[in-house]
Structure 1
């Protein structure tokens, strides 16, 4: 190994990555031994297709070629879920771009290491290679941050989202959240100068990178919390040693959570592909709400049919309903990817579609506020999500199809306002004082335009989308709505 690379590996990970100090780290601790891992590594090394990639955009030391080849092998399966046009884009065009673009190639290697960890429960076989590419990514992001260039916001978000994914799947959950917190602090240009009623392409990409990552991380954290409770463990997820979370998760996934495990692997496989879509001829469009809304309805029905004892022991996570929500989030994102030369949608189709970002955030808030399956969001991740939510609702309420999706937009807006009451009590919204007045105003305007004179009218709209028939907090949320519409 060249001296420069050996020194980098010796220093890997000791300080916080965004501190303005030299990047240093403790010696890495090896994860638990996992059966069949070495056999898989030998299979990758013997495969010659990756080792012939000499003309690539970055240094490929250690086992980089093997990891990149693993990324190619693991990308085949999920492409069957894409539409024919989507699969054509990814299959035909992504390889040359990935090899020639430094950031895309490094992302592919990091996500391959992440997928490997999640699949076998340990990164021991590729630990040094992973550390090398993670260090190089951190260096690149710190360099970009130092320029203060607003045009780099999307690129920075992309890299930080990858780092958050990789840290989390390596077991360092606190570091993953710190990475996401950096995204909240990034300045950005939100509107398209040519169309002030829509986001720039880069902003839409940044928002989706953040949401795909934060949804994944927060969902898995909630499952891990449930696993610890089911085992009557007194440990908090943040107090676990770095190797323990993935060991616990892997054990549970291989026994009771196999469906959820398949979805997580699918998400990781698709993640690096999503990064390169704009560069290989694709665009992101609005989505149909039915798949996500229907999955939330099933979650609500199953959750309210459990006994209190079952809820306490987190039996809900064994039913598969929660996994279906995440699958719907991924599926809707995939179906929103279209080639740039795709023929325009018909007006009737467009009328039924809505913002993917707004719908996903509303689903997250539903799981946090209504069925209360998710633990409360951390402050920065919540505020970043709400900033995206506010932006998307502002644009959605100005579109020509607003009357056709009025009930859905009211449901989304009300979940946003409901969440602000909780997070205001937690002291989370002091840095964003404009959020609550915004949501109160749009709830008042929507209620007026839709003729919602009484709480029963508003509740009927919520039930038409996704809402418990017998909600224990009905009086509480009624008070929130009445306060918003008061003169």
Structure 2
């Protein structure tokens, strides 16, 4: 017999049904401090909050009583409090089919949930994955808000200006993901800015292998978070510009919130790729597994995605295209595309490349295109901003993030220069492509702003271009452009003259 404060649909003892318990509520003093998605101020920042709220509509997700406990077990001892629908949310996430990935997900999730930091992050990821898949948080809304509040409080309690704490960084990155997943780009950008300040508390690279790996995992998760935020923001802004052009009214905050996953639903296979890839986000946690080292990655699948997006960009820019639908924000990614997925396929390739880098490298493995994971991801972001102009509305980031991205690329280029130059011609061309995109991104950024550190980096990049040109005996812009097109380069783009001027300046350097 259920107690009076519980809800029973029938007489439990007579029908042999399990009692259905009413969802617990946070205490009043905590409920007042909770915000609905997009309204929670990020940790220590006092900024104006978004008005976006998620409507808690029941979705076709599994109900509390139908969720399986066979993965986690009903008596699992969790390292944090699991009120409301926390256990059901975790079982929902752990019960999702394994995506096609080099690494099984359930075992890795099991290791992460034994760590309090990993478990909090998984619950937040599970919530926004559910919201994207079913259109709302549904029965998990209060659970999401509870763990989001607990995460913000934990970060505030442990942040120290002079000490870098990896689990705080992981929490901040997950909060960034949760904000842009609901279309709250201002809040996501505040997380990014705060994270950059926090990363600067690491005064030097650690010589300890384990600590070095932990630091790189943190950098990777941060790079993935801000890259996805820039990509989604660029697509949303493009949609809004198209809506204004066609005299449509601007969407409300609730409509904008629903728009983010809708953009990906128009890609061939996009929703499945997004949902499957979100399941793999815990692989960026330091508690995900014990990695001896993070290996270079074969970037062939990432380059295939970049080439596909470039070819679709060429179609959009072509004056011969009579079909205006091909130029619309949605139609560019429909099933007519030569390759499945578009941006979602790129997201999938990026995350799977990360997972592959955590596994032992095959003996005598020498892929044609190889790079550090960070090196290729920061460069593809610069390519999508400064060459194609499809990320972040074609605008380079502000000072700190711009410096972080360019510094990361320069560090990668310096480390792999000797190996790349001893490689086959395609490997040399790939290194030059990363270098030239980096240099062009810097020149692009300098057209709108100037910072003292830019001059020194500009000289270093020009010197690298000159050295590559001398070693490969490349002299004309036409020849250099041919090398770039062999990797990924558009037929024409807005900053073509800027690129040619950069090459000529480097040759005369």
Q: Output the TM-score relative to the length of structure 2.
A: 0.80
SS in 2 for 1:40: coil
Instruction: Count the aligned residue pairs.
Output: 465
Aligned to 1:136: 150
Query: Tell me, which stretches of 5 or more residues in structure 2 are unaligned?
Result: 1-22
Aligned to 1:349: 366
Q: Write the distance in 1 (CA, Å) between the matches of 2:56 and 2:42.
A: 28
Q: 2:101 aligns with which of 60, 75, 82?
A: 82
Q: Which moved more, 1:118-127 or 1:171-180?
A: 118-127
Q: 1:328 aligns with which of 346, 349, 352?
A: 349
- Deviation of 1:345 after TM superposition, in Å, equals 4.0
Q: 1:397 aligns with which of 417, 432, 445?
A: 417
- Deviation of 1:378 after TM superposition, in Å, equals 3.4
Quickly say closer, same or farther: Cα 1:292–1:60, change in 2 above 3 A: same
- Deviation of 1:59 after TM superposition, in Å, equals 0.8
Aligned to 2:469: 447
Aligned to 2:446: 424
Q: Write the distance in 1 (CA, Å) between the matches of 2:78 and 2:168.
A: 22
Aligned to 2:3: none
Q: Write the distance in 2 (CA, Å) between the matches of 1:276 and 1:299.
A: 32
Quickly say closer, same or farther: Cα 1:372–1:261, change in 2 above 3 A: same
Please tell me whether the aligned partners of residues 354 and 373 of structure 2 are also in contact (alpha carbons under 8 angstroms): yes
- The structure with more radius of gyration: 2
- Deviation of 1:168 after TM superposition, in Å, equals 1.6
Q: 2:195 aligns with which of 169, 183, 191?
A: 183
Please tell me whether the aligned partners of residues 161 and 210 of structure 1 are also in contact (alpha carbons under 8 angstroms): yes
Deviations 1:168-189 (A, max 9, x none): 2233221011111222222225
Aligned to 2:12: none
Deviations 1:137-191 (A, max 9, x none): 12222233226223x2x43332111010112223322101111122222222553
Q: Output the TM-score relative to the length of structure 1.
A: 0.83
Deviations 1:35-75 (A, max 9, x none): x51x525256654456724511001111111111111122x
For residues 180-219 of structure 1, the aligned pairs below 5 Å read 180-185=192-197, 186-187=199-200, 188-189=202-203, 191-193=205-207, 200-219=212-231
Deviations 1:290-333 (A, max 9, x none): 22222222222232234454565333233443443333323322
Quickly say closer, same or farther: Cα 1:57–1:402, change in 2 above 3 A: farther
Please tell me whether the aligned partners of residues 94 and 276 of structure 1 are also in contact (alpha carbons under 8 angstroms): no
Aligned to 2:63: 42
Q: Write the distance in 2 (CA, Å) between the matches of 1:400 and 1:359.
A: 14
Aligned to 1:92: 107
Whether 2:425 is the aligned partner of 1:411: answer: no
Quickly say closer, same or farther: Cα 1:328–1:33, change in 2 above 3 A: same
Quickly say closer, same or farther: Cα 1:453–1:128, change in 2 above 3 A: same
- Deviation of 1:364 after TM superposition, in Å, equals 1.8
Quickly say closer, same or farther: Cα 1:436–1:124, change in 2 above 3 A: farther
Aligned to 1:269: 279
- Deviation of 1:231 after TM superposition, in Å, equals 3.7
Please tell me whether the aligned partners of residues 285 and 336 of structure 1 are also in contact (alpha carbons under 8 angstroms): yes
Quickly say closer, same or farther: Cα 1:484–1:156, change in 2 above 3 A: farther
Please tell me whether the aligned partners of residues 190 and 199 of structure 1 are also in contact (alpha carbons under 8 angstroms): no
Quickly say closer, same or farther: Cα 1:207–1:46, change in 2 above 3 A: closer
> What is the aligned-residue RMSD (CA, Å)?
3.5
For residues 270-309 of structure 1, the aligned pairs below 5 Å read 270-276=280-286, 279-281=289-291, 283-306=293-316, 307-308=318-319, 309=324
Q: Write the distance in 2 (CA, Å) between the matches of 1:261 and 1:272.
A: 19
Aligned to 1:31: 54
Quickly say closer, same or farther: Cα 1:248–1:2, change in 2 above 3 A: closer
SS in 1 for 2:160: helix
- Deviation of 1:361 after TM superposition, in Å, equals 1.9
Whether 2:167 is the aligned partner of 1:155: answer: yes
- Deviation of 1:465 after TM superposition, in Å, equals 1.3
Please tell me whether the aligned partners of residues 133 and 275 of structure 2 are also in contact (alpha carbons under 8 angstroms): yes
Whether 2:256 is the aligned partner of 1:245: answer: yes
Q: 1:378 aligns with which of 393, 397, 400?
A: 397
Q: Write the distance in 2 (CA, Å) between the matches of 1:324 and 1:381.
A: 25
- Deviation of 1:253 after TM superposition, in Å, equals 4.5
Quickly say closer, same or farther: Cα 1:59–1:377, change in 2 above 3 A: farther
Richer in helix (by share): 1
Q: Write the distance in 2 (CA, Å) between the matches of 1:236 and 1:103.
A: 44
Quickly say closer, same or farther: Cα 1:112–1:432, change in 2 above 3 A: farther
Query: Tell me, which stretches of 5 or more residues in structure 1 are unaligned?
Result: none
Aligned to 1:102: 116
Aligned to 1:313: 328
